[in-house]
């Protein structure tokens, strides 16, 4: 079976600063893959490399069997054109800590924007799907609301619906609940749990250890640009083998 994401020796530096120091990992189709680790360990950078928002310095990344950002001819790599990169990026949904909704558009308009503008879908088709997606994230009655009229948790759920509207084969979540008031976190996690149950492949950077334990198929602990430990959530979270993992978990649990 082709991995949905495969990283081989991925290195990334910003100037003299090495941020990713050789990441090897595999995410299977339908897997919920939780990435944990202290601030600055390179989690966001790694996610950004997966859709070529950042270029790796060495090593390789594959999404669904295809090399990210490059085409290989013989033993040479040629960087893809912006248009080709953009096309592949459509298959990958991304949800950030900050929801980044368009403030001048309603929830529904936010969700149909990319399908209509990028995929040239008809508004009628896009609207119908958007309604279903808003229903799925529990916001059927908020379609006409502007982001400023929604709570942070509701905005984040619109952001998830917006990402799903492009029918991605992979979803990347970068601390999707970190900016939310505690009482709003649960609704967002419930939506993510539903997506997992429906078989979406997800990489989730999170500090929500309960979610990682209950929903995650695997947990990877990253520190200082390397994968320190990975495995089944039960092993990694309740029975960590490495000191660095233990020390991190004692601070977040
Ligand atoms: N565009 C950038 N330019 C320079 N340094 C960066 C850039 N993006 C991230 N970094 C640095 O890379 C390191 C890892 O950052 P990041 O991937 O955001 O970590 P995490 O998401 O685990 O907190 C940090 O030291 C950060 O300052
Ligand atoms: Mg981050």
Convert 119-179 into a string of H (helix), E (strand) and C (coil): CCCCHHHHHHHHHHHHHHCCCHHHCCCCHHHCCHHHHHHHHHHHHHCCCCCEEEEECCCCC
pLDDT band at 109 (very low <50, low <70, confident <90, very high): very high
First to last CA, the chain: 35
Buried b (16+ CB within 10 A) or exposed e, 175-187: bbbeebeeebbbb
The percent of residues above 70 in pLDDT, for the chain, comes to 100
Q: Is the pLDDT of residue 134 over 90?
A: yes
Question: At 55, is the secondary structure helix, strand, or coil?
Answer: coil
Distance in Å, CA 210 to ligand 2 centroid: 19
Q: Is the pLDDT of residue 52 over 90?
A: yes
What's the token pair of residue 191?
Answer: 């939506």
Average confidence score pLDDT of the chain: 96
Q: Is the Cβ atom of 39 under 6 angstroms away from ligand 1?
A: yes
Q: Kindly report the protein residue whose alpha carbon is nearest to atom 12 of ligand 1.
A: 19
Q: Kindly report the protein residue whose alpha carbon is nearest to atom 25 of ligand 1.
A: 40
How many Å is the Cα radius of gyration of the chain?
Answer: 18
Q: Is the pLDDT of residue 94 over 90?
A: yes
Report the nearest atom of ligand 1 relative to the CA of 222: 22
Ligand 2 ion local residues (Cβ < 5 A):
43-44
pLDDT of residue 253: 77
pLDDT of residue 130: 98
228 vs 212: CA distance, rounded Å: 17
Query: Residues near 86 by Cβ (< 8 Å), separated by ≥ 6?
Result: none
Q: What is the mean pLDDT of residues 60-80?
A: 93
Q: Is the pLDDT of residue 222 over 80?
A: yes
150 vs 95: CA distance, rounded Å: 17
Distance in Å, CA 70 to ligand 1 centroid: 23
pLDDT of residue 144: 98
Residue pLDDT, tens place only, 157-193 = 999 999 999 999 999 999 999 999 999 999 999 999 9
pLDDT of residue 15: 95
> Which residue among 42, 55, 228 has the greatest number of ligand 1 atoms within 8 angstroms of its CB, and so is best to mutate?
42
Q: Is the Cβ atom of 137 under 6 angstroms away from ligand 1?
A: no
Q: Is the Cβ atom of 44 under 6 angstroms away from ligand 1?
A: yes
Distance in Å, CA 108 to ligand 2 centroid: 28
Residue pLDDT, tens place only, 110-133 = 999 999 999 999 999 999 999 999
For β-strands 202-205 and 170-174, DSSP reports them as parallel
> Which residue among 14, 34, 172 has the greatest number of ligand 1 atoms within 8 angstroms of its CB, and so is best to mutate?
14
Q: Is the Cβ atom of 225 under 6 angstroms away from ligand 1?
A: no
DSSP assignment letter at 217: S
Q: Report the interhelical angle of 152-164 vs 107-117 (nearest 10°).
A: 20
245 vs 234: CA distance, rounded Å: 13
Residue pLDDT, tens place only, 135-152 = 999 999 999 999 999 999
| Ligand with the closest atom to the CA of 222 | 1
Distance in Å, CA 166 to ligand 2 centroid: 24
216 vs 235: CA distance, rounded Å: 12
């Amino acid at each position: 079976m082709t991995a949905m994401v495969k990283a081989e020796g991925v290195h990334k530096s910003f100037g003299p600063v090495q941020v990713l120091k050789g990441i090897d990992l595999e995410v299977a189709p339908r897997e919920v893959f939780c990435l944990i680790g202290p601030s600055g360990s390179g989690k966001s950078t790694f996610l950004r490399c997966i859709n070529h928002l950042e270029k790796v310095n060495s090593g390789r990344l594959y999404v669904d069997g295809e090399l990210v950002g490059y085409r290989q001819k013989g033993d040479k790599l040629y960087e893809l054109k912006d248009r080709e990169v953009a096309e592949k990026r459509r298959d990958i949904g991304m949800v950030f800590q900050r929801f980044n909704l368009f403030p001048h558009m309603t929830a529904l308009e936010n969700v149909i924007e990319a399908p209509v503008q990028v995929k040239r879908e008809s508004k009628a088709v896009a609207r119908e799907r958007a309604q279903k997606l808003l229903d799925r994230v529990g916001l059927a009655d908020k379609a006409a609301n502007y982001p400023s009229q929604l709570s942070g948790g509701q905005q984040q759920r619109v952001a998830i619906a917006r990402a799903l509207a492009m029918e991605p084969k992979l979803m990347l979540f970068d601390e999707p609940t970190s900016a939310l008031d505690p009482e709003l976190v649960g609704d967002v996690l419930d939506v993510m749990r539903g997506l997992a149950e429906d078989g979406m492949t997800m990489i989730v950077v999170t500090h929500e250890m309960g979610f990682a334990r209950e929903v995650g198929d695997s947990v990877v602990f990253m520190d200082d640009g390397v994968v320190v430990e990975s495995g089944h959530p039960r092993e990694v979270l309740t029975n960590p083998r490495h000191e660095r993992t233990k020390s991190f978990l004692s601070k977040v649990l």
